[in-house]
Structure 1
């Protein structure tokens, strides 16, 4: 192992290891830079925290490998898989036969639910970006976004113009948007050029909204909300799911439960497959079909999601 003079605590040929004991660990500029360095040197960034730390959505969604030290050893914060140090990186413990004991302990705070909407859209070269996220935040929280940035805490007040400029000119394709409402809301968006001969920008955004354990997410209202979104801002696909978790949108290194699907919207008009409830959404020139998958509380319905994707891929 090699001690470093920069942001890393340990540097090897395979990994950059960073220790952090903050209660909430965000995607800071230092960690963002570490991720870039790891990508350019073919290393993995391994973040080591105590069991009392939580990760924000942007850091969890990054390529950071989260390790937790609980006194008995190390385990993956998102899976509970026991890990050990190999001399060059943290690797799975070959002798482990179960999840790490701490991972199986109850969360430190009541788990609510997180409504997760992942959508795709295509934009022409002159279109402003971020409008889909702004519209969905208004519909689901009653307020527009508060700010945006490449790292946390976000430094920029919400401005579609500045957001678009950064998305099209920055070397980083991922942007973070936070809500202004008292209801927690956060989006991570990835932008990339459309494949020639098409011109413009492809967008993939995941918007997460937090709800306490005594609140009901607007599951039954989602088709009408997606219809309102697509009336002004067409999308090519949207997947809605519900995930047990903290309403503040941070993640503990403990098991909180499995996500479950709600529905999938796909561009076009479909008559199948059999056994799926469908609803026509969107304007006539950009129609969507909403497929109901489940109630958001039944993980076994992910099989319906897979069956639907298989059908859609085979449909001309």
Structure 2
């Protein structure tokens, strides 16, 4: 299992500070670099990895450390450097070694260590390698990098006991590496661990999986609760069997907190003057009254919000897809994932924006139709689905049962209305008729489905979808 520690420092960990910190194990240990220098491994003389130090990240977004680490962290003033250190606990001394690496960084540079109790500066003696030990004895490899706990032909397994797991650069890289080697990534955690929404979305893509250690023995899927067994080198579901701990976990049950999710897709004609991210910013302003505060490719989100920089990154990565994360101000929990791709129709932006609220009455349902109208008029909206669910306002995902979201509205942009046929799309089998948005000659249609309290809205949405597909002569 990998133990994780974080040094938050007001100064950048330069080579001098890193070398001093990595000397925590004495001169007998060796250093190796991976991923073009982005990761440094502290190893035994035989090459067995003990501690890995990720490249420091400069965080310039307020509230990110407290969002991911909790309120008890003494966070340096912005901007500050976030350095993750991981220990291989197959070696008993590795955890103490990682703690000392973090403690020495803070001693040299100032700042704090998470968890606070982990900071030490002692020298840790690691027993010499035995002849039977090899560099692969403690950690397996994905594409030659010692970063996962178990590796089989079909699955890479990572074990973590972190209270809140974000989509870190490390995990994002593991997901890419696993996909590139035709493997699933299975993330194993204790039942009290929560995930951020970006990590939950990434693990929701087949064949990845969130695996939770059942306190009653065995494992279950953190999203569905289905019991899992380790067979054939991977975790497989036991059909029809749901773990009791999933339904009765701590925090399970009714809640007054709510999450509003708005998922939409826009398509733009390719143009050298095109600026991406404006649709996401418009949605954020409509629903919260302010733009996003930060963006990045992983968590912690480290860059101040900038549609120009976002666009430059997407252009640099084209024709490959670009995956981004955005966050809002600390006083209004909001997080979004965005995927930018080149398609035959142009440049597509797929956004999933989720906002947390303490009470049901706080959810701004009356802002959804004006938002849809704005996205149609100014941002090339093709579709938008809004849902509400009773779930944590802090937007973290626990490993227990939560009620499913309830549809609130669906919007079809002019292209999809034209494809279904305006006359057909205007007469759906739903209680409330659609509202036309945009120009009369090329309207969009906004379909109200409810206030987020009636699960029957799913039936209405399914009927509406079937009706629209029938009008278009097949799948849209």
Normalising by the residue count of structure 1, what TM-score does the alignment of the two structures yield?
0.91
Work out which structure has the larger RCO, using CA pairs closer than 8 Å and 6 or more positions apart in sequence: 1
Are the equivalent residues in 2 in contact too, given 1:107–1:255 (CA < 8 A)? no
**TM alignment of 1:105-184, pairs within 5 A:** 105-108=248-251, 110=255, 112-126=257-271, 127-170=274-317, 171-180=320-329, 182-184=331-333
Shift of 1:288: 1.5
Corresponding residue for 1:67?
211
Listed as ranges, the gaps of 5+ residues in structure 1 are none
**Residue 455 of structure 2 corresponds to residue 299 of structure 1:** yes
Corresponding residue for 2:418?
none
Greater share of helix? 2
Shift of 1:66: 0.2
Instruction: Give the whole-Å Cα distance in 2 for the aligned partners of 1:65 and 1:111.
Output: 29
Of the three residues 220, 224, 228, the one matched with 2:366 is: 220
Corresponding residue for 1:253?
399
Of the three residues 187, 193, 206, the one matched with 2:336 is: 187
Residue aligned with 1:248, SS: coil
Residue aligned with 2:167, SS: coil
In structure 2, relative to structure 1, the CA distance for the partners of 1:225 and 1:301 (3 Å cut) is same
Instruction: Give the whole-Å Cα distance in 1 for the aligned partners of 2:321 and 2:371.
Output: 30
Instruction: Give the whole-Å Cα distance in 1 for the aligned partners of 2:352 and 2:442.
Output: 21
Residue aligned with 1:166, SS: helix
Instruction: Give the whole-Å Cα distance in 1 for the aligned partners of 2:442 and 2:350.
Output: 18
Q: Which moved more, 1:227-236 or 1:144-153?
A: 227-236
Instruction: Give the whole-Å Cα distance in 1 for the aligned partners of 2:213 and 2:265.
Output: 37
Are the equivalent residues in 2 in contact too, given 1:263–1:291 (CA < 8 A)? yes
- 1:243-302 deviation per Cα after TM superposition (whole angstroms, max 9, x unaligned): 221111110011121211111010235421244421112355763111112221222221
**Residue 235 of structure 2 corresponds to residue 90 of structure 1:** yes
Are the equivalent residues in 1 in contact too, given 2:140–2:148 (CA < 8 A)? yes
Corresponding residue for 2:45?
none
Instruction: Give the whole-Å Cα distance in 1 for the aligned partners of 2:234 and 2:459.
Output: 35
In structure 2, relative to structure 1, the CA distance for the partners of 1:301 and 1:314 (3 Å cut) is same
Corresponding residue for 1:277?
433
Are the equivalent residues in 1 in contact too, given 2:266–2:381 (CA < 8 A)? yes
Instruction: Give the whole-Å Cα distance in 2 for the aligned partners of 1:106 and 1:77.
Output: 11
- 1:43-84 deviation per Cα after TM superposition (whole angstroms, max 9, x unaligned): 000000001110111111113410000222100000000001
Are the equivalent residues in 2 in contact too, given 1:107–1:256 (CA < 8 A)? no
Aligned-CA RMSD value: 2.1
Q: Which moved more, 1:141-150 or 1:171-180?
A: 171-180
Residue aligned with 1:220, SS: helix
Q: Which moved more, 1:306-315 or 1:148-157?
A: 306-315
Instruction: Give the whole-Å Cα distance in 1 for the aligned partners of 2:313 and 2:325.
Output: 11
Between Structure 1 and Structure 2, how many residues are aligned?
A: 311
**Residue 348 of structure 2 corresponds to residue 206 of structure 1:** no
Normalising by the residue count of structure 2, what TM-score does the alignment of the two structures yield?
0.62
Residue aligned with 2:264, SS: strand
Shift of 1:108: 2.9
Corresponding residue for 2:157?
17
